[in-house]
A and B are shown apart, each in its own frame.
Chain A
Amino acid sequence: MEFGLSEEQKLLQETVRSFVSKECPVTKLREIFDGELGTEPALWKGLSEMGIAGLAISEDHGGAGMEVLDLALVSEVLGEGALPTPFLGHSLAGLAIEAGGSDEQKSRWLPRLASGDALGTVAFGELDNRWQPEEWTTQASGSRVTGTKRFVPNGSLSDVVVVGVAGGGLVLIEKEAKGVTCETMDGIDRTRGVCELILDEAPCESLPNGAAASRRVRDAALVLLAADSFGAAWKLIRMTIDYTGTREQFGTPLTQFQSVKHEIANMATDVEQTRALYWYAAHALDHLPDDSAHAAAIAKAHITDRAMEAARSAFELHGGIGFTWECDVQMWFKRCMFNRAFLGTPEVHRERSAQLSGW
């Protein structure tokens, strides 16, 4: 009975954390944020060299063979740094192929994904908030797929895309194939670009266990989004502590006012106690199949909501400056907005969790 991280897991977080602070300080982040691409290839290359691209891909296929919990721990640190990398979509594509692919598909794609030589992503979203596998309408027949997927993370950079199709299954497409058009969307989170993927009789191959894999990948995505929000929220709390500790009004630092101190204490309490929830939800995906869907739904709903609320407080405690483009708060604020809306809002996942509880 151990509810806690191993030394290796703590080291993993520390290693990624020092990479982030060295390679992507806030000045660098700001350049990328104000740029066009929504990512910086050198950062992803660096992470890939550390094994992050293949963290949860099995060792047989060239990955590190770690678990969803390890992905979530990295996700926390990337959220904390608002790191502009394709980690989310790429990790999910790896999980999808690992869980749903044939042996041949696995050996064709996973080693290249694990090394970072190829970039993967997933295309789940559709018009009208159709994010969940049972809602997908994109049509795959034989080896052709037609439909429009939205909010594909880092789609424009990807080589291979795992596409959700009607019936809840998954198909693989190569982005450069004929019949595939990728249009960049003006996403809210400029650290994780999104695109619309228009598929017109595009060549595809289905993942044999796609229907089961799609639910698992969706649940893993919920946990990774939650963990990212957890990290982003803590970053906002620290920024707020720093700012209110130096900003003076009425002749004293703002933190000297109890109203400010108490609001920060509330933010931290609301956020810190969610850490164990994301750990549990990630662990459940690895080891507790009966509870994993429910835990993932609650974790996504609760943590992305709490983080958004902390972001709102962070903005308020920064005063007027917090509302400016120049102020760094917005970068994490928008990271939280992305995590909250992507794959369905808290309301959607609370209703799902209610159904899963048999209410």
Chain B
Amino acid sequence: MNLEYSEDVLAFRDELREFLEGWPLTGDEAKLALEEQRRLFRERGIERGYVYRDMPKKFGGSEQPSDAVRDRIVKEEYLAANAPGGLIGQGPGMLAPTLMEFGTPEQQERFIPPTLAGDMRWCQGYSEPGAGSDLASLQSRADLVGDEWVINGHKIWTTTAHEADYMFGLFRTEPDASKHAGISYLLLDMKAPGIEVRPLKEMTGAAMFNEVFFTDVRAPADHIVGKRGEGWQVSRATLKHERNLIGDPNAMHRAFRNLIDLARRTKRGGRPAIEDPSVRQRLAEIEGYLLCQEFTGSRMFTAGARGDHAGVVMPMMMMKLYGTDLQQLLTRAACDLVGDGFLLAPTVEEGSHGGPQGTDGAWVSSYMNAIAVSIAGGASNIQRNIIGERALGLPRDLRSA
């Protein structure tokens, strides 16, 4: 154990901090449109080797030697400075690395550069109304007719479908093959005729998700990643890259600090709630879970840097469930501190992603969103199955093939 950074890493961090003082832009550049400013600063970050560190230069990355510690520092410092680094989201975070692993050279050249530049935005088409936890039972199909795929079906929970240029998704291409072996990984132009996107309004009032309907949608035959029937394996491999989407490692810490602030300003019997012994007990108990999550993250990070993934397979499988439970514990405490504020609906801003933090309505919204987390990205009971079966060696559920 050694929680200090080495001299050369500290020097790297100093240089990075100095660079990040350039954001926000000043002078004439500050007059540019915000989107343009972000692009400019991102380009400078790529030039300096801070952004898209694991992507080849020819595709718009900065192609740095693999270095987990520097990757982590870059992430932390960019977040602390609130500076525009690499784009996150499903295109740069999941599709681009998937193409690096499975794509043809033509696919890499065509899709990765605009994706990293933000000119091509992506959504993920996996879930269907009849295929949630049992994703491999998906029924949306793609038939090869001449040199085109013809696609029919219905996807759901498609985040950002309304603004995406392309979709990467799973479709049944081999109806006669077994469940998992009949699926292929395809790339679809969202502007193709026959695609209809309908927003799904959530209980918070926000509309993060969509449904996507396909009626005889056509895509070129070479828009398949991997071979026919290999879609399941390609999508599983993509999950490795999901860590790219785990945006901010300190988000839970910030939420906890907000909770402490809430306890300081909320009154109980005329005194700050934080002086109430039952509130103090509860906050300290939550902090126990919070620190476990933080240090387990550090433990996984070091194991990853040492190349010892096998040593942390178990805690890694547990992270999703643990984080979900922690988030719910935290927002439930906020619910009790806010009290009657939970009788009011959040405003549209408070309900939307990236909205204000710390207001009563924002807590109402976080409380509801924390419940959704136990479904999104793998339901908690599925996580328990995975932990039980794969980490602890318990028997698999009885299920039909």
Contacts and interface: CB of A to CB of B under 8 A. Distances in A.
B384 A351 contact: no
B3 A276 contact: no
Interface in A270-293: 272-277, 279-280, 283, 287-288
Interface centre among B285, B288, B291, B302 (most CB of A within 10 A): B288
A283 B5 CA distance: 16
A359 interface: yes
Contacts of A261: 384-385, 388-389, 394-395
A298 B288 contact: yes
B303 A268 contact: no
Nearest to A349: B284
A4 B284 contact: no
B265 interface: no
A172 B48 CA distance: 62
A160 B5 CA distance: 42
A3 interface: yes
A255 interface: yes
B228 interface: no
A357 B284 CA distance: 10
B306 A255 contact: no
A301 B286 CA distance: 11
A246 to B, nearest CB: 12
Contact of A351 (B260, B281, B291, B387): B281
A262 B280 contact: no
Nearest to B398: A256
A274 B318 CA distance: 12
Nearest to A3: B298
Given A302-B292, A350-B281, A253 B395 contact: yes
B288 A359 contact: no
Interface in B248-282: 260, 263, 274, 277, 280-281
Nearest to A276: B295
Contact of B284 (A272, A275, A353): A353
Interface in A239-281: 241, 245, 253, 255-256, 258, 261-262, 264-266, 268-269, 272-277, 279-280
B299 interface: yes
B298 A241 contact: no
B371 interface: no
A7 to B, nearest CB: 11
Contacts of B383: 265
Contacts of B6: 1
A97 B181 CA distance: 67
Given A262-B388, A277-B288, A302-B292, A3 B302 contact: yes
B357 to A, nearest CB: 20
A262 to B, nearest CB: 4
A2 interface: yes
A275 B293 CA distance: 10
B146 interface: no
Contact of A279 (B295, B308, B388): B295
A288 B3 CA distance: 9
A275 B3 CA distance: 16
B299 A265 contact: no
A60 interface: no
Interface in B1-42: 1-6, 9
B385 A258 contact: yes
B296 interface: yes
Nearest to A303: B288
B318 A279 contact: no
Interface in A291-338: 295, 298, 301-303, 305
A298 B1 contact: no
Nearest to A346: B285
B321 interface: yes
A69 interface: yes
B203 interface: no
Interface in B287-312: 287-289, 291-293, 295-296, 298-299, 301-303, 306, 308
Interface string B380-401: 0101110111011111011000
A280 B292 CA distance: 9
B279 to A, nearest CB: 9
A5 interface: yes
A261 B393 CA distance: 10
Contacts of B314: 268, 272
Contacts of B288: 277, 298, 301-303, 305
A166 to B, nearest CB: 26
A185 interface: no
A351 B318 contact: no
Given A2-B2, A245-B394, A301-B284, A280 B295 contact: yes
Given A353-B284, A353-B287, 4 more contacts: A1-B2, A1-B69, A266-B384, A359-B260
24 contacts: A1-B3, A1-B4, A1-B9, A2-B3, A3-B1, A3-B299, A4-B1, A241-B392, A253-B395, A262-B381, A268-B387, A268-B392, A269-B321, A272-B314, A274-B292, A277-B292, A288-B3, A295-B291, A303-B288, A347-B281, A350-B284, A353-B287, A354-B284, A359-B274
Q: Which 9 A-B pairs have the closest CB atoms?
A: A302-B288, A276-B295, A350-B284, A3-B298, A265-B384, A265-B387, A261-B388, A262-B384, A4-B302
